[in-house]
Amino acid sequence: MNSPSKNKPRILFLFSDTGGGHRSAAEAMIEAIELEFPGLVSTDMVDIFLNYAPPPINLAPRIYPTLSKIPDMWELGYQISDGQRRTKLAYKMLWPYVRRSLDRLLSDHPCELLVSVHPLINHPVSMAARKYQLPFITVITDLVSTHAAWYSSSADLVVVPTEAARLRGLDAGLLPQRLKVVGLPVAERFCHPQGDRFELRHRLGWRQDLPVVILVGGGEGMGSIAATAKAIDSAGIGLELVIIAGRNQALKDQLERHNWKGPVKIYGFVKEIPDFFRAADILITKAGPGTISEAFIAGLPLILFSKIPGQEDGNVDYVVKERAGVWAPEPEMVVENLRIWVEKPEHRHKIAEQSQLLARPDASRQIARILFEKAAS
């Protein structure tokens, strides 16, 4: 990350670790800015809840992991809060309480452009930006089921990943010229992975003679991974199963103790996900927007087995409607689809082609050019 300089525009990215995708999106854009405009822009990232929100709002990063594992409560909260009038009223009432924190934020981090990648801060941040006469851009990091809080009519521009998200913005009252469909920002290593499938499998120690299926539940190893993995292994389909437990050490330990019948590879948190995706044939995952976007770029057919109610519902509908994958919330359904895809590879290849058609590998760089132009103007 560059240090601030008076000779180059400064861009401040606001995120929070309430879900892994917000930080990843900000980092992807910063990386793309440096690739597109090396040495010409200063960038900074701030976890706005953790560092600048007054209590109890500053507890959001700690509370999120617990709340996201209680689907009914999460869905209820999402539905109750998802409305333009309710959102505007809530933030109007909240503004006096957060105003001083935002003043301190902008005093500590002077910039020429504010960029938000988090839904819950856009209305108050847009008010602060207007007060300080700063341009403000929102980059939405949900694919389809975009919460009303994403859309502040005061934003200079709202960058959206899909046409469905743009239509949601129009419904929220934003002017068409303030909405732009670009895609979801992902890291460069996903957009231009190195090596072919044979070489990657050889290096990873994976089978060359069987379809390779990756099972992952995000960085935290969420969802019924153990039950799904055991059901796949017991089915005797004829594949190699690669299980990524992420940071969930208890899950990794449980998987390593199991007596597997077929070829299985078990990993914890890995940094080689782009290589894994390029070397695999099928991806089984929760319906997170980042993982789905990365799978599209790799041309992987998707079996979605888990979702966060509300914000990820639309992701499932999008993947299924576009014929890039299926929704299989039960282990038996995962096995049933896997069996078809393995026994009828031509069917699997058609789904993989549909997945690739949805890819937007240049999104991060396109957004970087938009941000540079705005910051430098």
Instruction: Compute mean pLDDT per 10 residues along the chain, 377 residues long, and list them.
Output: 64 87 95 97 95 81 70 78 84 89 96 96 94 97 94 96 96 96 96 83 96 86 85 97 93 95 95 94 95 96 93 95 97 98 97 97 98 96
- Indicate if 344 and 210 belong to the same structural domain: yes
CATH of the domain at 197: 3.40.50.2000
Peptide linkage before 193 cis (omega within 30 of 0): no
How many structural domains compose the chain?
2
Residue 153 to residue 263: CA distance in whole angstroms: 53
- Indicate if 251 and 237 belong to the same structural domain: yes
Decide if 4 is inside a domain: no
Decide if 1 is inside a domain: no
Decide if 318 is inside a domain: yes
Cβ atoms of 31 and 364 within 8 Å: the answer is yes
pLDDT value of position 94 = 87
- Indicate if 210 and 101 belong to the same structural domain: no
CA 209 to chain centre: 32
pLDDT value of position 347 = 96
Decide if 3 is inside a domain: no
pLDDT value of position 20 = 59
Best CA proximity match to 125, nearest among 148, 102, 107, 158: 102
- Indicate if 163 and 209 belong to the same structural domain: no
- Indicate if 211 and 137 belong to the same structural domain: no
Decide if 55 is inside a domain: yes
Work out the widest C-alpha separation in the chain, in whole angstroms. 63
Dihedral pair phi/psi, residue 144, rounded to 5°: -130, -55
- Indicate if 276 and 200 belong to the same structural domain: yes
Cβ atoms of 310 and 74 within 8 Å: the answer is yes
Decide if 102 is inside a domain: yes
- Which range marks the domain in which residue 68 is found? 10-188+361-376
- Indicate if 234 and 369 belong to the same structural domain: no
- Indicate if 166 and 216 belong to the same structural domain: no
- Indicate if 108 and 232 belong to the same structural domain: no
- Indicate if 145 and 284 belong to the same structural domain: no
- Indicate if 339 and 219 belong to the same structural domain: yes
Decide if 124 is inside a domain: yes
CA 236 → CA 226, 241, 316, distances in Å?
Answer: 16, 11, 27
Decide if 94 is inside a domain: yes
CB atoms under 10 Å from CB of 366, counted, come to: 17
pLDDT value of position 75 = 77
Q: In 225-253, which positions are buried (b, 16+ CB within 10 angstroms) versus exposed (e)?
A: bbebbbbbbebebebbbbbbbbebeebbe
- Indicate if 119 and 210 belong to the same structural domain: no
